[in-house]
Amino acid sequence: MAVQEGDQAPDFSMAASGGRTVSRAGMQGRPFVLYFYPKADTPGCTKQACAFQEALTELGTIGVEVIGVSKDKMPAIERFADKYGLKFPLASDQSGVAEAFGTWVEKSMYGRTYLGMERATFLIDRNGRVAHVWPKVKVPGHAAEVLQAAKALG
* 50 belongs to the catalytic site: no
Per-residue 3-state assignment (H helix, E strand, C coil) for the chain? CCCCCCCECCCCEEEEHHHEEEECHHHCCCCEEEEECCCCCCHHHHHHHHHHHHHHHHHHHCCCEEEEEECCCHHHHHHHHHHHCCCCCEEECCCCHHHHHCCEEEEEECCEEEEEECCEEEEECCCCEEEEEECCCCCCCHHHHHHHHHHHHC
- Identified catalytic residue from 9, 15, 27, 45: 45
Burial class (CB in 10 A: 0-12, 13-18, 19+), 59: buried
Q: In the beta sheet, which residues pair with residue 33?
A: 66, 123
Which sequence positions are flagged as catalytic? 45
